[in-house]
A and B are shown apart, each in its own frame.
Chain A
Amino acid sequence: MNQRELPQHPDFLWANPEPKSGYDVIIVGAGGHGLATAYYLAKHHGITNVAVLERGWIAGGNMARNTTIIRSNYLWDESAAIYEHSLKLWEGLEDELGYDVFFSQRGVLNLAHTLQDVRDSVRRVEANRLNGVDAEWVDPQQVKELCPIINIGDDIRYPVMGGTYQPRAGIAKHDWVAWGYARRASELGVDLIQNCEVTGFVMDGGRVTGVETSRGRINAGKVALCAAGHTSVLADLAGFRVPIQSHPLQALVSELHEIIHPTVVMSNHVHVYVSQAHKGELVMGAGIDSYNGYGQRGSFHVIEHQMSAAVELFPAFSRAHLLRTWGGIVDVTMDASPVMGPTPVDGMYVNCGWGTGGFKAVPGAGWAYAHTIATDQPHELNRAFGLDRFVSGALIDEHGAAAVAH
């Protein structure tokens, strides 16, 4: 893994147009999902009379705050399918967007620290392989080979008993991904409108015909929600409910250090995950803050706990310094799987619920969501993820069994 000075961004990224009076499709929220959806709508479906409305700055929500872990080793078939589709798109994304997004397939290790962790890990590896997803069970010695700075000794409270490893998994640079999509979408004629908050919906019977915004009313043929942690607020304005709890999720970085950490390590049991980004900063996170809230900040004890876990597993991190902490608002469903599909309002679609792990899904979800919006039909990849599953009970529970966040 080479230390990298990042190259410069392109000379031009996106235009800042005034909103038009109406669009065929309005996407609410210019996070990764909104931008990717706009791009695929224009690119694959020829729908270019599209606006992406963003209350703040482009990709300033969770897209600017995540720890960029990309993997597709999810347990259930439905999840594996959409995340693996996404991973395949990642593998061609730099060419597709003409943008270096630093997609680095350095592998992701999910550590096991208890016998039950081992069972769950083996189960997931076997399921992944039969689903065509690269996955391996690695023993502690192999863990050490993949990541020499991990302490696999039994001098820690929960020694490493092995792990799962997905070689094709890795990280990318979030801003660059968002901007790559934004630039291409803007080139294809999509209007990216910042500082424009959707405050209401214009309805005609059961159908949405426009949005009210902080910059005035804008008409819309269709409206696609992509508001992550704020989806419940928007759904409320539109008159339906989504089974989502919004929680703070924090992350942090250290200052830059020479590269010593070659892969991505996640431990659900001791609650920490860490990679070393291209420039050399350690990027870390843990679990959500347990209370609900819309403040993009969390509690300090969560940070302290993950630091204990980090120093346990990685003695070399002892005197790395915490440089910055921050928080995003993650949209968590009861089964830790996303929601994507139609809503009770005609002409309105929803994509949310990616919770702590939707960065990796940006290409795949944008791709499938664009299909859903363009054709009024969910794609095979997202059919199982509709709101209807909360009525039928056909949940896709990536919480309990998979036991991996992000």
Chain B
Amino acid sequence: MGAHQPQRLDVGGAIDRSRAVELVVDGETFTGCAGDTVASALVANGRLRVGDSIYRRRPRGILSAGVEEPNAFALVNGEHNESMVPLTSLELVPGLDLTLLDGIGVLDQKVDPAEYDKMHVHADVAIVGAGPAGLAAAREAAATGARVVLFEQDFRLGGSLLADPASLVEGVPSELWVERVRGELEAAPEVTILTRTTAFGSYDNNYLIALEKRTEHLHGTARDGVSRQRLWHVTARQVVLATGAFERPIVFADNDVPGVMLASAVAAYIGRYAAVPGRRAVVFTTNDSGYATAHALLRSGAEVHVVDAREAGPSARVGTAAADAGLRISTGSAVVGIDGAQAVEAAWVAPIDDEGALAGPAERVACDVVAVSGGWSPNVSLHSQRQGALHWDDALAGFVPTVPVRNQHLAGAVLGTYWTEGCLTEGRAAGLAAAAASGFAAEQSGRTSGSEVDTVAEERVARAGTTRQLWVVEGRDGGYTTHFVDPQRDNTAADVLRATGAGMRSVEHVKRYTSISTGVDQGKIGAVNTIGLLTRVLSGEDTRAIPPGQPGQDGTGSRAASELSGIPAAPPSKPTPGAIGNTTFRAPFTPVAFAALAGRSRGELFDVARTTSIHPWHVAHEALFEDVGQWKRPWYYPRAGEDMDAAVARECRAAREGVAFMDATTLGKIEIRGADAGEFLNRIYTNAFKKLGVGKARYGVMCKPDGMVFDDGVVLRLEEHRYFATTTTGGAARVLEWLEEWSQTEWPELDVVCTSVTEQWATIAVVGPRSRDVIARMAPGLDVSKEGFGFMEFRETVLASGIEARICRITFSGELAFEINVPTWYGLKVWEDVAEAGADFDITPYGTETMHVLRAEKAYPIVGQDTDGTVTPQDLGMDWIVSKTKDFIGNRSYSRSSHQGPGRKQLVSVLPVDRSLRLPEGAQLVERVALGDYTGEGLPERPIPMLGHVTSSYHSQALGRSFGLALVKDGRDRIGQTLIASFLGRFAEVEVADAVLYDKEGTRRDD
């Protein structure tokens, strides 16, 4: 067993004594065994003390043996440190190096080298929890042939059985039973068993999210490429929740001293890990379950004194066994205080009255561990995340699900079924029912009848015995400042009292006033005790003044229902926990690392970049790229020694004076087909398309209902009932969704189908006075003459290479220009052919920056740059594109008052008086007088009225000067005026000019 582990039993437990595992905690080395958690290894070493409490710096110890742990957290040092890891669910593996934390983590600033991935699966039956109920359910469901996914957060199957490996299940020791069930499940082809996997989120339609830890327990031996954690997205026809229950601590003075532990945790450390938390124990309980711990302690050789808060003591069955074992029991009593600061030295035990007040002198009982059980709370988190109803069961003293959520089933302790046989019965029934509901019938039906389940339900209370609802135990000094309700948040009963004293009535307000339940355990430890405490404190109040949490007392409805119905008219004088209600349960059930949620969507895969089939050429020719939507577009192609300005000037010159070409593949492309395609487009675009001739192209603008420009592009009429529309690069998906929305929801009567063909076509723009020559070489069979191939027409043709192409005569530069469209596959080949065909004319590739300059010189707007959702076609000077004779989306808005008369911002150009000054895009425009004495230094005293802003700004090679486009209030009336552009605390004079600065007559496109 390696180094001496003073508190380790020689026999028993599900640990492997032959495999010692070393562990470093705060520099100190401990030795545990394979099968331990870090917490159990520490317990075996006699170490209960962990970090201090967050604010009050009180020494704290391990409280639990599970995910509800509020005290024991560490920083796990490694390739990337992980903080706030609970020791109680951290598997002991070689090489662990931990730093204990005082309730607050430290983030590692290095890049996390680990991989995280995701899995999406469909299941017939998803079962959460592999205790007796979950295993029984899985076995039954699996036997039907249903596809079953079983989630268990622990690294072992067995749940509550693990604490008592010797107990008999179906006649065999539970350890063996679990192994048998596992064997059966593994043999079933459709079953997936996921251990170390926490189902932490439950969403509509039985959509469960779970986190699987895949490599941490392999301590570095994982194969390459295995993700550290995996996020499972499971959609199940049926869900079985067999999530168990949490034990509650008891609120008494100094209940946070190391050595005070949950009774069930004490039992688990002894039974599962053969690690004894103490040799002299006080078991302080409000219910029968504490006696199991007492027996476990006795068996481990400890001295035990049971303090039972119930006047009548244990139920008969439990009492007999206790008497047989010779347990010392003080009934009607409580632990009213603890001696010891770093560790429990003694418990003060005193009789208490009905109110929990001291009713006699306290006796000092020397001890080193105090095991507490304040009753049980079903683990309803996943049920409640789905708005499953809860009600307060006064006999079980817990919030219990009222009915399962649709297509879900509940089994075992989550229902308040706290004995193994009952759990098995419910589990079997749930597994069968779930399988049947997803279409899988059991071969031998009737293994569990409905009446058996009913019998279990009837027996629940008797089996559980009575639980005294002892929400707080008065201390010996009358104060409540060390009665911890939420140890992690350092909140006490005194804090709850302050909250109610301040007028807080809602449990939600008490939570926020105090911060109870906001820690890592999210109320698993303290929520119900707080609610219970409120029933005490607010007793006698009119509950109508108490806004309920979730749900109301009747427990019939969801949060919404309880909020709507309010509290029943005749309030009970004593509010019950049900009337107080819970705070809302939210995902995640237990914390999940951000990186696990990010999965592989990082870096390149965050949003996979789209590239055209011509992209390799751009890379080879050293283009710089711009992100446009998801696309990588060539921005410009600098030659050696060129900066951006020089490259763009050269590219512009080529387009205006010779020939240039550009990859325009990224434009969105949508085919619109159907008998009503023309009508549909008529309604979508501001201008008309119904009468567009086949073989012709037309530029169109579409608006939102408010009349503002939304997207634009050229539409070709391919056939009578078939159009081809281009969109802006960034707008492609938006536009398709927009078309779908209208065709599907507003005009379903129209016969129209829209299909994205963006990926199907590569588009090459060939631009400039020599473009005709290039196209003539590319497509020798095509009549490219001015007369033979008119502007805004297109032709289907076969290129010299034999590749079929659609060639359009359209321009986005004002120059004579063509666009060659070929199937994507041929994009690169045709591009290279263009380069070759144009070589004699020194054809020049250009990028988006040059495209922007060329189109700006012509005042062709870029939607999203020169427009921003507040600009109409009329504002852009495109009245001509707004039909007066047909209706379309946005039309109605043009009659609204804000669209009339002066004050609208209009697109104009601005010419800096300093001809070399290129204004920053975004510079604001004001009148000189408006500036007053504001110099640009600091902020003006009063707002300075703005007339508009510069939307685009460039140096124009053609004009030999800088220029910009701007949206300016009444801009067209201001042509000739001088305004001030304000930017970076500077002012510059600009002259307002007509928007079109180059070839206003439009002669060049037909050259």
Binding site for B on A (CB under 8 A): 3, 5-6, 8-16, 54-58, 60, 64, 77, 80-81, 113-116, 118-127, 129-134, 137, 149, 155-158, 175, 194-197, 214-215, 254-258, 260, 270, 280, 294-295, 297, 299-300, 303-305, 307-312, 315-326, 334, 389, 391-395, 397, 399-401
Contacts and interface: CB of A to CB of B under 8 A. Distances in A.
A195 to B, nearest CB: 4
A310 B501 contact: no
Give the 5 A-B CB pairs with smallest separation, nearest first: A400-B869, A122-B922, A123-B922, A321-B591, A393-B896
A157 B566 contact: no
Contacts of B595: 307, 311, 317-319
A117 to B, nearest CB: 10
A261 to B, nearest CB: 9
Given A81-B943, A256-B103, A395-B706, A319 B508 contact: no
B591 A8 contact: no
A400 B983 contact: no
Interface string B57-93: 0000000000000000000000011111000000000
A323 to B, nearest CB: 5
A66 B817 CA distance: 53
A300 B80 contact: no
A299 B541 CA distance: 39
A8 B594 contact: no
A116 B865 contact: yes
A16 B564 contact: no
Contact of A131 (B104, B501, B522, B943): B943
A60 B80 contact: no
Contacts of A319: 80-83, 107-108, 112, 593-595
Interface residues of B, number: 105
Interface string B104-138: 11111111100000000000000000000000000
A33 to B, nearest CB: 19
Interface in B500-541: 501-506, 508-509, 512-513, 515, 518-520, 522
Contacts of A116: 864-865
A122 B106 CA distance: 36
A401 B870 contact: yes
Contacts of B619: none
B675 interface: no
Contact of A320 (B201, B548, B563, B594): B594
A158 to B, nearest CB: 6
B897 A126 contact: no
Given A11-B501, A316-B109, A392 B522 contact: no
Nearest to B921: A119
B744 to A, nearest CB: 15
A255 B547 contact: no
B666 to A, nearest CB: 14
Given A64-B508, A393-B898, A307 B606 contact: no
Contact of B603 (A13, A312, A400): A312
A56 B868 contact: no
B749 to A, nearest CB: 25
B567 A195 contact: yes
B607 interface: yes
Contact of A157 (B84, B522, B609, B893): B609
A300 B498 contact: no
Contact of A12 (B501, B626, B899): B501
Contact of B939 (A134, A309, A393): A134
A310 B520 contact: no
Contacts of B602: 308, 311-312
B587 A300 contact: yes
Interface in B582-604: 584, 586-588, 591-595, 597-599, 601-604
A126 B941 contact: no
Given A310-B598, A324-B588, 5 more contacts: A12-B503, A118-B922, A122-B983, A126-B983, A255-B83
Nearest to A121: B922
A13 B502 contact: yes
Contacts of B941: 132
B926 to A, nearest CB: 7
A322 to B, nearest CB: 5
B982 interface: yes
A322 B522 CA distance: 12
A90 B593 CA distance: 35
Contact of B944 (A5, A60, A130, A270): A130
28 contacts: A16-B505, A56-B506, A60-B508, A77-B945, A156-B603, A256-B105, A258-B104, A258-B107, A280-B104, A294-B560, A295-B560, A300-B587, A309-B606, A312-B606, A315-B110, A316-B108, A318-B593, A318-B594, A319-B107, A319-B108, A320-B83, A320-B107, A321-B592, A321-B593, A322-B591, A324-B586, A392-B896, A393-B893
Given A58-B509, A60-B508, A319-B83, A126 B949 contact: yes
B606 A322 contact: no
B742 to A, nearest CB: 17
B924 A130 contact: yes
A300 B201 contact: yes
A260 B107 CA distance: 8
